[in-house]
Structure 1
Amino acid sequence: MKLLLTAFMLCIFQGIKAQNTIKMENQKEEVLAITNAIEDQYFKGIYEGDEALLGSVFHAEALLFGDVKGEPYFKTIALYLEGVKNRQSPKDSGKPFKGEILNIKVVNSIAVAELNVKMYDFNYRDFLSFHKINGKWLIVNKMLTDISE
């Protein structure tokens, strides 16, 4: 009986280890997918002023909140993309642009990314909330603050 119980326990622990390994591998894949979305759509769209590319990484109902130079900031994604479309892009301004991913946390189909974005005369800290919808990671909320001071 003791031998049977020991064998049973070993099987359970091996199964748990295998599940954890699979979860970790899946999480690495999800972090990579989010990283690619940030670099290929978010950063590139901001830098080039490409509102269509930038909009492709956002959910259609996404909202943006935060503060810039101490002033409250709120926009719908439509208003934000309109502003990107009508301003001089960082690329065309000739001023430095640097987007940096500081951290990405994934739990099931949701994730949060912390970014630093230096553009124009600003240094933004962005927190992007992602949701995996129909197999694609989309930004559903953006929070930002200007940390230039």
Structure 2
Amino acid sequence: MSEEQAISAVVHLYVDGMAFANEAALRKAFHPNASIVGNYDDAVEWLTRDAFIATILKEGSAPPETQPLMDVEMIHITGDAASVKVVDEFAGSRYTDYLSLLKVDGRWLIVNKVWHVHS
């Protein structure tokens, strides 16, 4: 598997984890110390991985027949660091996410997510 394919697999885990409230997938995709940051209701929302997962679980799963939107617009890789721009949907809203990934012990993990919700 190429590095790009391995990163794409992590992005799939992330998007599916959000869409279907899959805690195990989200924990596998994100580093334990990851930050999830964006503007929500005119204030900066800065979440830990665990707080982010709790928010996803509270929202609940999309219907099982749902095909989650996942449009990976960019993957840049430099050594053991990568950046991904992905457009996805969650809870009826469309987002653009900028994901920073780091290769840790041979596995790509999301260490930071900065997001924008489209109105």
Question: 2:108 & 2:66 partners in 1: Cα distance?
Answer: 30
Question: 2:90 & 2:68 partners in 1: Cα distance?
Answer: 5
1:70 is displaced (CA, Å) by: 4.0
1:126 is displaced (CA, Å) by: 0.2
1:91 is displaced (CA, Å) by: 3.0
1:66 counterpart residue number: 38
Q: Is the 8 A contact 2:21 2:61 kept in 1?
A: yes
2:52 counterpart residue number: 80
With the length of structure 2 as denominator, give the TM-score of the two structures: 0.89
Provide closer, same or farther for how the CA distance between residues 115 and 70 of structure 1 changes in structure 2, counting only shifts above 3 A. Answer: farther
Q: Moved runs in structure 1, 4+ residues, more than 4 A?
A: none
Taking CA–CA contacts closer than 8 Å with sequence separation of 6 or more, which of the two structures ends up with the larger relative contact order? 2
1:107 counterpart residue number: 78
Question: 2:116 & 2:102 partners in 1: Cα distance?
Answer: 22
Q: Kindly name which structure, 1 or 2, has the bigger radius of gyration based on alpha carbons.
A: 1
Question: Could you report, residue by residue, the CA deviation over 1:65-117 in whole angstroms, capped at 9, with x for unpaired residues?
Answer: 1113543221011101111222222236x877412111100000000000001
With the length of structure 1 as denominator, give the TM-score of the two structures: 0.72
Higher strand share: 2
Match of 1:133 among 104, 109, 112: 104
What SS class does the counterpart of residue 4 from structure 2 fall into? helix
Question: 1:73 & 1:86 partners in 2: Cα distance?
Answer: 17
1:50 is displaced (CA, Å) by: 0.7
What SS class does the counterpart of residue 2 from structure 2 fall into? helix
Match of 2:8 among 18, 32, 35: 35
Determine whether 1:145 maps to 2:100.
no
The percentage of counterpart residues that share the same residue type is 24
Question: 2:48 & 2:109 partners in 1: Cα distance?
Answer: 15
The size of the alignment, in residue pairs, is 119
Question: 1:122 & 1:111 partners in 2: Cα distance?
Answer: 26
1:29 is displaced (CA, Å) by: 1.3
Unaligned runs of 5+ in 1: 1-27
Q: Which amino acid in the other structure matches residue 31 of structure 1? A: E
